Amino acid sequence: MEEVPRCRAVGKSQLTSKRTTPKRRLNTTKETRDLLLSVALGQVLSLLICGIGLTSKYLSEDFHANTPVFQSFLNYILLFLVYTTTLAVRQGEENLLAILKRRWWKYMILGIIDIEANYLVVKAYQYTTLTSVQLLDCFVIPVVILLSWFFLLVRYKAVHFIGIVVCILGMGCMAGADVLVGRQQGAGENKLIGDLLVLGGATLYGISNVCEEYIVRNLSRVEFLGMIGLFGSFFSGIQLAIMEHKELLKVPWDWQIGLLYVGFSACMFGLYSFMPVVIKKTSATAVNLSLLTADLYSLFCGLFLFHYKFSGLYLLSFFTILVGLVLYSSTSTYVAQDPRVYKQFRNPSGPVVDLPATGQLEPSVTYTSLGQETEEEPHVRVA
C-alpha cells in the first residue's frame, strides 16, 4: 500500500518531463537556427563587399579608371531612383516633404558622413599598404561599441567582448599571412597620412552605422535609404564635379568598363539595401564583425583571378573570425534603461508588457539581437 503513491509520483514526474522536454528542444532549435541565420546574413554582406572590391580592382589596375567618387555617385543615384521616389509618392507623415520638414538637416549631415567615409578609405590606398588598411579599418568596431553604449544604451556581456577579441585576432592572423606571402599592396608612401585617412574613414563609418541602426529600428528602412539617396547623390555629385571630372574624362570607355561599373553599382546597391535588414535583425556591431571576412573572400577569389600566393594562415584567420562571430551572436545584448519609462526599441506597434506596481525594478531591459519577433512573445521583457 505504501508503494502506490510512490509509483504515482514517479508517473507524474515522467509526465511533466514529457511535457517540458519538447518545448525546450523547440527553443534550442529556434535559437540555433537564429544564430546560424544571423551569421549567414552577415556573410552575404561580406560577399557583396567582395564583389565591390573585385570590380574596383579591375577598374583601377586593368583599365586605370580611378573614379571612387563617380562609383559612389552611381550608387546614390540608384538609391534616389528607388527609395527617394518611393517616399515622394507616399501620403501623410511618411511623405518625402513631411520628412524633410521635420529632420532634413540631420539627414544632410548623415549623407555627408557616408560619402566621406567611403572616400577617405579608398583614398588611403594611395598612401599606405593593404595590411595597414585592413588592421586600422578594424577601428570601426570600438567606435560602434562606444556610440552604441552611450547613444543607443546598449550593454554588452563578457561573451560579447570575448567574441570581439577573437574576431580581431583573426584579422591580425590575416595581416600576418599577408606579410609572410609578401602581399603588402599599396604604395606605402606617406604612410602616416594613409593611416590617418583610414582611421578617419573608420570613425565616420561607425557614426553612419549607429545612426542607421537607430533609424531602421525607430523609423523605417525606406526612409533611411531614401534620404541617403537624396543627399548622397546631391553632395557626391558636387564632389564629383570639383575633384574627379578630369579623371572621368580619361576613362577609356568600352563595353568591358561599362560592365564593371554596372557590376560595382549592383553590388553597392545590394549592400546598401540589404544592410539595414541585417542591422535590424542583429546590430551594427554584429554587422561590422561579419564584414571582417570580406577581405578573405576577396583573397580566395584573387587566388584564381590574380594568382595570389596562398597561406594556411588565411584559413585559420577565416575560421577564427567565424568562431568570434558565433560567440558574439550566441548571447543577446540588452538596453540599460528603466523599464518604467522605456519605449519599445524594436517595434513601437508591438504589445506592451504590464510591469508590476510593487517591488523593486532593475534598470535594465533585455534587447534581443537574434530571432524574429512573434505576436505571442512580448517585445520587452524585464531582466
Instruction: Compute the average pLDDT of residues 209-213.
Output: 94
**C-alpha to C-alpha distance for 120 and 196, rounded to whole angstroms:** 9
Total tally of structural domains belonging to the chain: 1
Which residues lie below 8 Å from residue 38, measured CB to CB, with a gap of 6+? 278, 281, 282, 286, 329, 369, 370
Indicate the pLDDT class of residue 21, thresholds 50, 70 and 90.
low
- For residue 289, tell me if it sits in a domain: yes
- For residue 236, tell me if it sits in a domain: yes
The amino acid that residue 352 corresponds to is V
Nearest to 184 by CA among 129, 142, 123: 129
- For residue 171, tell me if it sits in a domain: yes
| CB-count exposure of residue 48 (10 Å: 0-12, 13-18, 19+) | buried
How many C-beta atoms surround the C-beta of residue 71 within 10 A? 24
Indicate the pLDDT class of residue 9, thresholds 50, 70 and 90.
very low
Tell me the per-residue pLDDT of 216-271, one tens digit each, with 9 for 90 and over.
999 999 999 999 999 999 999 999 999 888 888 888 889 999 999 999 999 999 99
- For residue 371, tell me if it sits in a domain: no
- For residue 130, tell me if it sits in a domain: yes
- For residue 91, tell me if it sits in a domain: yes
Question: What pLDDT, on a 0 to 100 scale, did the predictor assign at position 78?
Answer: 96
The three-state secondary structure class of 335 is strand
The three-state secondary structure class of 155 is strand
Whether pLDDT at 383 is above 90: no
Q: State the Cα torsion 374-378-379-383 to the nearest 10°.
A: -140
For 316, the domain range is: 35-338
**What is the grid cell recorded at 208?**
553612419
Question: What pLDDT, on a 0 to 100 scale, did the predictor assign at position 343?
Answer: 44
- pTM, 2 dp: 0.78
The three-state secondary structure class of 366 is strand
Any idea what the Cα angle at residue 74 is, between residues 211 and 228, rounded to 5°? 20
- In DSSP notation, 348-365 reads TTSPPPPPPSSSPPPS-E
> Can you tell me which residue has the cell 568600352?
254
Indicate the pLDDT class of residue 17, thresholds 50, 70 and 90.
very low
Question: What pLDDT, on a 0 to 100 scale, did the predictor assign at position 186?
Answer: 52
Indicate the pLDDT class of residue 66, thresholds 50, 70 and 90.
confident
**C-alpha to C-alpha distance for 160 and 325, rounded to whole angstroms:** 9
- For residue 293, tell me if it sits in a domain: yes
- For residue 284, tell me if it sits in a domain: yes
Whether pLDDT at 356 is above 80: no
